[in-house]
Amino acid sequence: MNRQQAELLLQQNFKLPKFYDEQWKTIDRVLNGGRVLLIEKTGFGKSLCFQFPATVFNGTTVIFSPLIALMRDQEKKLQSLGIAAKCINSEQTPEENSQIIEEAKRGKIKILYIAPERQENNEWIEATRQMHLSMVVVDEAHCISVWGHDFRPAFKRIINLVKLLPKGLPVLATTATATKRVEQDIAQQIGGGITILRGNLMRENFKLFVAKVNSEDEKMIWLGKNIEKMPGSGVLYTGTRIDTEIYSKWFNYLNINSTAYNAGLDANSRIAIENGLMKNQWKCIISTNALGMGIDKPDIRFIIHTQIPQSPIHYYQEIGRAGRDGETAYIILFYNPNEDKKLPEAFIEGGRPSIKKYEKVIECIKTGLFSEREIIKHTNLKQSQFRVIKADLLEQGIIREVNYSHSKKYEFVPNSQSLNTKAFEELRAAKTKDLEQMIEYIDTTDSRMKFLCDYLGDNTNHVFTNCDNTGEKKIKVIVADEWTAKLQEFRENYFSELVVESRDSNIINGVAASYYGVSNVGDAIHRSKYENGGDFPDFLLRLTLKAFRKKFGNEHFDLILYIPPTKSGDLVKNFAEKLSQVLKITISHNLKKVRETKEQKIFENNYLKHENVSNAFSYISPSEIIGKKILLFDDICDSCATIKEIGKLLTNLGAIKIAPIVIAKTVGGDLV
C-alpha cells in the first residue's frame, strides 16, 4: 500500500486528511512487518501509527497499555468512528472481560487494548491460541526500562513476549518520554532489528514558570489567590495523597471548584473524575502523579506542581498533557529550597529496603510456595517494601511469579545469580543525578524548554521565548495579611476524615483532629505517651472537640467508649473522660482486651495489624450496647485496624452507629 492509497483509507475511516511525514514513515514500516520504536511528543498522533495499520490488517491488533484511562478514552473514540475497538481491564467485571475475549476469538475486534498484567491471565492465554493476531503494540514503552521514570515490572513479560513473536509480525513501541539511555535500553530489549524514529520534543505553546517560595503557606496563598485567574481548567500536582486532600479542602474553603484525585480512590470515583475533567467540570483537579499519563484531553490550559518531581523526565511527562491542542498552556513549578528536595530524596534513598530485607524474602521463598500476603506475614514487611523487593528479585531472575489456580505464588529460581546490589547502587546514583538535573532546571537562567529538550536528547537549535527566563514575566509570591489570616482560619477548621466504613459493620467514617508527624499535635502526643509528659494537654482536647463539632455537629451519642491501650497507661481513658464531661455523653469503661496484643506500630503491614487485634476485644455488659449510638475514641490511628475491629464487635452486639474520633492520624502508607 502506498501513501496515496493509505491516505484515501485514512479519510474514509478516520476522517483525517493526511499523515504527517513521520507518521507515514512509521506506518509504512509497520505495514511491511517491521519493528519500530517511535518517540514523539504528546499530541503528535502516535496512536494513529498503530490504529491505522490495525484497520488495514486482517486480524486483531493487541495494544499493551498500562493506562486504563487511556484505554477507555481511545476505545470510545475509535468506536465513534465505527472501528471495532475494545479494552480488557481490571476495572471491568470478569463477565465483561470474558465477553470481549469471546468477541476477539471470533475475530470481531480489530483493536484490543489490554494491560500488561493480563499476560498472567489463563483465560487471556487461552484466547490468544484462537485469535488471528496481526500486530503487537507496546504503548508507553518507557515502562520497559528501569532507567526511565516509570518502570513497571509487568512490562518485563511483554518484552519476553515480543522476543518470542515471529519475524515479520509488526511490533510498534511508542513513548513520549525517553532519554537516549532509555531509548537504547528499549531498543536493545525489543531487539529484532528495531528501527528507532525520534521526533522533536519541544512544546512551543507551553509557557514555563518556576516560582521559588519559602513555605507551603506561600504556595497555598498564591494558588488560592490566582488559580481562578488562570485560563480554562487544569491540573495541580502535589507530592502526596494527603496534599491532594489538603489543597482540595483549601480550594473548597475558598469556593474554588476543584476535586482531589489519587490512586487511593476507588475505580468508580476515578472514572467519574476523569470524565468530569474531560467536561471541564472543575477549574482544577488536584492530583498525585496517578493522574496524567493517558488523559487525552486537548485543552488542559495549565499544569502546576506544588512539589518538584524526581527528574526532568518525570516533569516533562507530567506537563506533557497540557495544551495538546497547540494553544497556550501555563506550566508552573513551585519550589521551596528549604523543604521540597526532601520528598524526592526520600523516594530515592528510602525507595529500596535494606539488603537484609531482600535476604529475608529470598529465604522465605526458598522454604515454600507462598503468596504475596503469606510472604508479607512471614517477613513482617510493608506491602510497599515487599513490592519493591519483589520487582527487583523478578528483574534479577532470582524469583519468579507463577499463577496457581488464580493465586499468584512466588518461586525461587534454582541456580539463579545472587542478589546484585551493585545494580541498586547504579540506579540510585542515576536517580540522584536526575534529581540534581531537576534542581538545575529550577535554577537555570536560560530557556527552560531548551533545558528539557537537551535533557531528553533532543538537541535543538531552536530559539525559545516561552519561559520566565526568556521574556515571560516571573512569578513573585507576595503574602498579604488578609491571606495569611484566611489560611490560618482554614487550618483551624480543617479536619481529616477517618475512612473506615464497611459493609459488614455499623461503623461510620470518623474524624481526626490532626495529623501525627507533621504538626505540634504529634509532638504533644509523643511527649505524653513516650516521655512521661503526663496527660494529653488541653489544647488537644479543644482541637478534638472542634473536630467533633465539625464532623458530627449536634448529633446525639449514647455512649463514649475508648480503646483499651497496649502500653500508655490511662492517657486515653483520662482524655475520654474529659470528652465525656464536655460533651455530656456517658462514658463506659466496659470495652476490654481479652488477650494481650502488641503495639500496632511494630507491624509493617495491614495483614499483621489485623491479625494482632482480631478477636482481641470484648464488652463486659453487652446488653448496654443494644440500639446505642457510640462515639469511639482513640489517641492515634494508623491503619485503623483496631477501630474497624471494635466497630465489628459493637455491631455484632447490637450498636446501631459507631463513630470514631482520634486526636491524630499518622502520615504514612501510600503516597500517590
Partner 1 sequence: MNKETAYWMSLAHELPAWSFSNQSGWKNEDKINLIIQFYYEKKMTIEVFFSLSKEVWKTEFLLSEQRIAELQTCKLTIANYSFLAENMESSGIEAVPLISQDYSKTLKENLKKSAPIVLYIKGNKQIMSEESVAIVGSRDASDIALQFTDNIAKSVSEKYKVIVSGFAKGVDKQALDSSIACRGQSIIVLPQGIMTFESGFKTYYKQIIEGDVLVLSVFHPKAGWGKDLAMARNSIIYGLAKEIYVAEAKPSINRQGKETKGGTWTGVVDGLKKGRTIYVRQPENSEKNDNKILIQKGAIAVDNKGNVILKDSSKYVQKIFSF
Q: Using CB under 8 A, pick the residue from 17, 82, 168, 627 that binds partner 1.
A: 168
Q: How many Å apart are CA 553 and CA 301, to the nearest integer?
A: 39
Instruction: Provide, rounded to whole angstroms, the least separation between the CB of residue 182 and partner 1.
Output: 22
Binding test (CB under 8 A) with partner 1, winner from 48, 83, 169, 196: 169
Site string for partner 1, 354-393 (x = CB under 8 A): ------------x-xx------------------------
Which residues lie closer than 8 Å to 561 by C-beta, 6 or more apart?
576, 587, 588, 590, 591, 630, 631, 632, 633, 646, 650
Q: Which stretch binds partner 1 (CB under 8 A): 157-165, 259-267, 311-319, 663-671?
A: 157-165
The single residue among 102, 120, 395, 468 that binds partner 1, judged by CB under 8 A, is 120
- Cβ within 8 Å of residue 166, ≥6 positions away: none
Binding-site string for partner 1 from residue 322 to residue 361, where x marks contact by CB under 8 A and - marks none:
----------------------------------------
Q: Whose Cβ is closer to partner 1: residue 403's or residue 586's? A: 403
Q: At closest approach, how far in Å is the CB of 399 from partner 1?
A: 10
In terms of DSSP bridges, do strands 407-412 and 399-404 run parallel, antiparallel, or are they unpaired?
antiparallel
Identify the residue among 12, 21, 93, 164 touching partner 1 (CB under 8 A): 164
Select the residue interacting with partner 1 from 341, 400, 491, 610 (CB under 8 A): 400
Phi, psi of 168 (to 5 degrees): 95, -15
Q: Interacting stretch for partner 1, rule CB under 8 A, among 47-55, 129-137, 219-227, 384-392?
A: 129-137
DSSP E strand boundaries for 499-611: 510-516, 559-562, 586-587, 591-593
Residue 158 and residue 29: Cα distance in Å, rounded? 21
The span from the CA of 226 to the CA of 660, in Å, is 37
Q: Of 2 and 58, which has the nearer Cβ to partner 1? A: 58
* Nearer CB in complex with partner 1: 132/589: 132
Q: Please say which residue, 131 or 453, places its beta carbon nearer to partner 1.
A: 131
Residue ranges in 593-632 that form contacts with partner 1 under rule CB under 8 A? none
161 binds partner 1 (CB under 8 A): yes
Q: How far apart are alpha carbons 283 and 301 in whole angstroms?
A: 10
Judged by CB, which is closer to partner 1: 157, or 378? 157
Pairing mode, if any, of strands 206-212 and 233-237? unpaired
Task: Give the range of 259-267, 401-409, 636-644, 661-669 binding partner 1 by CB under 8 A.
Answer: 401-409
- Minimum distance between the CB of residue 156 and partner 1, rounded to whole angstroms? 9
Alpha carbon 671 to its chain centroid, in Å, reads 7
| Interface characters, 488-527, with partner 1 (x: CB under 8 A) | ----------------------------------------
Contacting residue, 16, 31, 146, 165, with partner 1 by CB under 8 A: 165
Q: Return the range that interacts with partner 1 (CB under 8 A); candidates 143-151, 179-187, 266-274, 410-418.
A: 410-418
Position 412 contacts partner 1 (CB under 8 A): yes
The rounded distance, in Å, linking the Cα atoms of 669 and 672 is: 9
Nearest to partner 1 of 404, 539 (CB atom): 404
Which of 9, 18, 32, 126 binds partner 1 (CB under 8 A)? It is: 126
Confirm if 402 and 408 have CB atoms less than 8 A apart: yes
| Residue 160 or 275 having the CB closest to partner 1 | 160
Decide if residue 193 touches partner 1 (CB under 8 A): no
What burial class does residue 595 get, using C-beta atoms within 10 Å of its C-beta: 0-12 exposed, 13-18 middle, 19+ buried?
exposed
Q: Answer yes or no: are the C-beta atoms of 633 and 618 closer than 8 Å.
A: no
Q: What are phi and psi of 173, to 5 degrees?
A: -115, 130
CB nearer partner 1, residue 12 or residue 367: 367
Cβ neighbors of 268 (< 8 A, separation 6 or more) are none
User: At its nearest, how many Å lie between partner 1 and the CB of residue 6?
Assistant: 23
- Strands of the sheet with 85-88, listed across from one edge: 85-88, 111-114, 60-64, 133-138, 171-175, 35-39, 195-198
- State the minimum distance, in angstroms, from the CB of residue 116 to partner 1: 11
163 binds partner 1 (CB under 8 A): yes
Report the distance separating Cα 410 and Cα 427, nearest Å: 25
Region binding partner 1 by CB under 8 A among candidate stretches 219-227, 247-255, 397-405, 587-595: 397-405
Taking a C-beta distance cutoff of 8 angstroms, is the pair 43, 89 a contact? no
- The yes or no reply on residue 131 touching partner 1 (CB under 8 A) is yes
Cell of 300: 488542559
Q: Which residues of 609-639 are buried (b: 16+ CB within 10 A; e: fewer)?
A: bbebbeebbebeeeebbeebbbbbbbbbbbb
Q: H or E element: which one contains 329?
A: strand 329-335
Three-state DSSP state, 350: helix
Of 345, 411, 535, 611, the residue at the interface with partner 1 (CB under 8 A) is 411
Shorter beta-carbon distance to partner 1: residue 367 or 554: 367
Cell numbers standing for residue 425:
547502587
| Nearest to partner 1 of 143, 176 (CB atom) | 143
Among 3, 77, 152, 157, binds partner 1 (CB under 8 A): 157
166 sits near partner 1 (criterion: CB under 8 A): yes
Tell me the sheet residues that pair with 401: 410
Q: Return the number of the residue (166 or 553) whose C-beta is nearest partner 1.
A: 166
Q: Give the nearest distance from C-beta 340 to partner 1 in angstroms.
A: 40
Q: Helix and strand tally (H, E) in the chain?
A: 24, 23
Does the protein bind partner 1 through residue 128 (CB under 8 A)?
Answer: yes
Residue by residue, what is the 3-state secondary structure of 495-516?
Answer: CEEECCCCCCCCECCEEEEEEE
Task: Tell me which DSSP letter residue 467 carries.
Answer: B
- 394 or 521: whose CB is closer to partner 1? 394
| Site for partner 1 contains 130 (CB under 8 A) | yes
Q: Should residue 9 be labelled a site residue for partner 1 when binding is judged by CB under 8 A?
A: no
Rounded to whole angstroms, the maximal C-alpha distance in the chain is 85
> How deeply is 401 buried, as exposed, middle or buried, from its count of CB atoms within 10 A (0-12, 13-18, 19+)?
middle
Give the rounded distance of the alpha carbon of 98 from its chain centre: 27
CA angle, 434 then 439 then 443, to 5°: 140
Q: Which is nearer to partner 1, 358 or 536 (by Cβ)?
A: 358
DSSP lists the bridge partners of residue 657 as: 629
- Considering CB under 8 A, how many residues would be counted as binding partner 1? 35
Q: Which is nearer to partner 1, 164 or 594 (CB)?
A: 164
Give the nearest distance from C-beta 68 to partner 1 in angstroms: 21
Nearer to partner 1, 58 or 268 (CB): 58
Interface positions with partner 1 (CB under 8 A)? 119-120, 125-126, 128-133, 157, 160-161, 163-169, 366, 368-369, 400-405, 409, 411-415
